[in-house]
Amino acid sequence: MAAAISHEQLIALANEFGTPLYVYHADRIQEQYHKLLSAFEGADVRFFYAAKALTNINILRYIKETGCQVDCSSVNEAKLALHAGFAPEHILYTSNNVSFDEICEAQSLGIHINIDSLSNLRKFGQKFGHAYPVGIRLRPNIMAGGNLKISTGHADSKFGIPLENLQEVLELVKETNLFIRTLHIHTGSEIKDVDIFIKGLDVLFDLVPRFPELEVIDLGGGFKVPYQPGEEGTDIPALGKKIKEAFTVFREKTGRHLQVWFEPGKYMVSECGYFITKVNVLKPAVNAVFAGVDSGLNHLIRPMFYGSYHVIENISNPQGAPRVYNVVGNICETDTFAENRTLPEVREGDYLVFLNAGAYCFEMSSHYNSRFKPAEVLVKDGNAKLIRKRDELSDLLRGQME
Ligand SMILES: *Cc1c(COP(=O)(O)O)cnc(C)c1O
C-alpha cells in the first residue's frame, strides 16, 4: 500500500499553504485503480471514474494517466473531461432528469450516453434513430447503499426508468429503431454487500434477450470504502471473482459476449484526501468541549448532509491525553462535524485533519457566509503542487453585475 501522508508532511503543507486545505495523494488513487484492475483481470471490463466525486482538472488528468476512463453527471463534467484530455469514447454521461437539449449536447460531443427517462429516450429515438448507440438507465427496485439519501435503485427512487416500464421501453425502441448498446443500473453508494451487484446483474441478464444489439452491462458505482475505524469496504477481489464467473456462465448459456462497465467514484478518490483545519476557539459544551475550527459545512458538508463519519486526527498533539470534543464549524448554522469525539487534547491553534476527504468533499463546497473555498494540493511522488489557489474577494464578486 502507498504510505499515507505523514503528520509531519501534513503540518508542513498546512504551514506552507494555510488552512483550511485539501490535500490529495495521487499514488493512492493509482493504487485503488490497480486494485480494481487486478481483481477483474481476465474480464472484459472498463472502469469509468465518477468525476462528480472530485473534478479538479489535475485530478482528472491524473486519472486519465492511470488509464481509467470517466463517467460524468452533467454535460459540463463531460466538457471538463474533454479539457483534461480524455477521448470522447472514454467519456460516459449518465444523467438524471436532464433536459433533452443537454442530451443533444452530449451527443454532439460524441460521448457514451445513458438515458434515464422514457420521454428523453423517445425524443432520442425520434431524432437519432439507429445512428447513435445509447444506454438505458434502469431502476431495478433494489434497496442498497449506506443510507436512504445515497440509495438510488429502490422502488421509490427518482433515478432511472422503472423496470415496470419495460414494455413501453421495448415498444419505443422498436418504433424509433433505437440502437440500445448498454443497460445500466447504479443502485447506490457505499454498497458493502457484493451480492447486491450480483442481484442487479441478474436483473439485467434477464433482460438481455430483449435487446439483441446489446454490447455492455453497466453496473454503476457504489463500492464502499471504510470510513469508521474497524469498518470494512466492499470486498473487491470477491466481487471481481463473482462477476467474472457470472459473465462466463452467461456466455456459455446464451452464446452472448458482453462487456461490463463500472463507475467508481468514492472508491477511487475518497481515501486519497485529507482536509486540514485549524482550531480557532475552544468553548465548554454540556458533556464535552467545543472545538471550533476555521471551516464548516461550506467546505465539508457530508457530516451535516447525511450524517457521514470522518475520522479526525489532532496532528499537532497526537500524544495528548484523550478528551471528548464536539468538533464544530464557524458558519452561522449548526455545523457539527463530530459529536462526543475522543481526540488527543486539543489546543487553540492545533491542526485537525479529516480523513477520507477526497470524494464529495471539496466538490460539494460553497461560498456560504461569503467565505472562501479552500485551496487544494496534489502530492505526487512526494512532491506537493498547488492545484487550486485559495479564493479571494474577487472570486466572491465574479459574475455579479455592479
Ligand atoms: C455518483 C455516481 C456514481 C459513483 O458513486 P460512488 O458511490 O461514488 O462510487 C456512479 N454512477 C453514477 C451514475 C452516479 O451518479
- Sorted by sequence, the CB contacts under 8 Å of residue 265 that are 6+ apart come out as 49, 50, 51, 52, 53, 71, 189, 221, 359, 360
- For the cut 80, the answer to whether the pLDDT of residue 149 exceeds it is no
| 301 alpha carbon – ligand 1 mean position (Å) | 18
Look-up of cell digits 447504479: 186
Q: Are residues 306 and 177 in the same domain?
A: no
| 154 alpha carbon – ligand 1 mean position (Å) | 15
Q: Are residues 78 and 200 in the same domain?
A: yes
Nearest CA to ligand 1 atom 10: 221
- For the cut 80, the answer to whether the pLDDT of residue 3 exceeds it is no
Model confidence over 92-141: pLDDT tens digits?
A: 999 889 999 999 999 999 999 999 999 999 999 999 999 999 999 999 88
Give the residue-averaged pLDDT of 41-61. Answer: 98
Give the residue-averaged pLDDT of 319-328. Answer: 98
Q: What is the mean pLDDT of the chain?
A: 96
The pTM of the full predicted model, rounded to 2 decimals, is 0.97
Q: Are residues 245 and 309 in the same domain?
A: no
CB distance 191 to 223 below 8 Å:
yes
- For the cut 90, the answer to whether the pLDDT of residue 211 exceeds it is yes
Nearest CA to ligand 1 atom 3: 221
β-bridge mates for residue 326, sequence order:
290
- For the cut 80, the answer to whether the pLDDT of residue 2 exceeds it is no
Which atom of ligand 1 is the closest one to the Cα of 145? 7
Q: Are residues 89 and 108 in the same domain?
A: yes
3-state secondary structure of 113: strand
- For the cut 80, the answer to whether the pLDDT of residue 330 exceeds it is yes
From residue 227, alpha-carbon distances to 24, 129, 293, 333, 342 in Å are 16, 45, 21, 25, 16
Q: Is 360 exposed, middle or buried (0-12, 13-18, 19+ CB in 10 A)?
A: buried
3-state secondary structure of 112: strand
Q: Are residues 59 and 192 in the same domain?
A: yes
Which atom of ligand 1 is the closest one to the Cα of 360? 8
CB distance 129 to 141 below 8 Å:
no
Please state the separation of Cα 30 from the chain's center in Å.
15
Give the residue-averaged pLDDT of 281-291. Answer: 94
Q: Are residues 311 and 225 in the same domain?
A: no
Residue 178 included in any domain: yes
Q: For residue 145, what pLDDT band results from cuts at 50, 70 and 90?
A: confident
Q: For residue 245, what pLDDT band results from cuts at 50, 70 and 90?
A: very high
Give the residue-averaged pLDDT of 293-309. Answer: 97
CATH number at residue 184: 3.20.20.10
For residue 184, give the H/E element and its range: strand 180-184
Give the residue-averaged pLDDT of 88-95. Answer: 96
Q: Are residues 84 and 228 in the same domain?
A: yes
Give the separation between CA 348 and CA 282, rounded to whole angstroms: 6
Q: What is the pLDDT of residue 9?
A: 97
Q: What is the pLDDT of residue 151?
A: 80
Mutate to test the pocket of ligand 1, among 63, 93, 186 (most ligand atoms within 8 A of CB): 186
CB distance 15 to 250 below 8 Å:
no
Q: How many structural domains compose the chain?
A: 2
DSSP-derived pairing of the beta strands 259-262 and 216-218 = parallel
Q: Are residues 289 and 219 in the same domain?
A: no
Q: Are residues 73 and 131 in the same domain?
A: yes
- For the cut 90, the answer to whether the pLDDT of residue 345 exceeds it is yes
Number of C-beta neighbours around residue 93 at 10 A: 27
| 242 alpha carbon – ligand 1 mean position (Å) | 21
Q: What is the pLDDT of residue 246?
A: 98
CB distance 47 to 65 below 8 Å:
no
| 94 alpha carbon – ligand 1 mean position (Å) | 9
| 337 alpha carbon – ligand 1 mean position (Å) | 24
Q: Are residues 243 and 128 in the same domain?
A: yes
Which atom of ligand 1 is the closest one to the Cα of 263? 10
Weakest-pLDDT range from 55-69, 143-157, 170-184, 277-291: 143-157
Mutate to test the pocket of ligand 1, among 189, 217, 219, 272 (most ligand atoms within 8 A of CB): 189
- For the cut 90, the answer to whether the pLDDT of residue 287 exceeds it is no
- The residues annotated with a catalytic role in the active site are 332
- For the cut 90, the answer to whether the pLDDT of residue 11 exceeds it is yes
Which atom of ligand 1 is the closest one to the Cα of 270? 8
Q: Are residues 179 and 71 in the same domain?
A: yes
Q: Are residues 257 and 211 in the same domain?
A: yes
Give the separation between CA 338 and CA 311, rounded to whole angstroms: 9
- For the cut 90, the answer to whether the pLDDT of residue 164 exceeds it is yes
β-bridge mates for residue 46, sequence order:
261
Mutate to test the pocket of ligand 1, among 29, 33, 48, 52 (most ligand atoms within 8 A of CB): 52
Q: Which residues are near ligand 1 (CB < 6 Å)?
A: 50, 52-53, 71, 73, 94, 186, 189, 220-223, 263-267, 359
| H-type alpha helices, 18-148 | 26-39, 57-66, 75-83, 100-109, 118-128
- Sorted by sequence, the CB contacts under 8 Å of residue 317 that are 6+ apart come out as 344, 345, 346, 347, 350
Which atom of ligand 1 is the closest one to the Cα of 220? 11
Number of C-beta neighbours around residue 230 at 10 A: 5
CB distance 178 to 121 below 8 Å:
yes
Residue where one domain finishes, among candidates 269, 302, 318: 269
From residue 160, alpha-carbon distances to 98, 120, 188 in Å are 12, 11, 12
Query: Domain containing 298: what range?
Result: 270-394
Residue where one domain finishes, among candidates 246, 269, 292: 269
DSSP-derived pairing of the beta strands 69-72 and 112-115 = unpaired
Residue where one domain finishes, among candidates 211, 244, 269: 269
CATH number at residue 331: 2.40.37.10
Residue 105 included in any domain: yes
Q: What is the pLDDT of residue 148?
A: 76
* C-alpha cell, 198: 450480483
Give the separation between CA 302 and CA 53, rounded to whole angstroms: 12
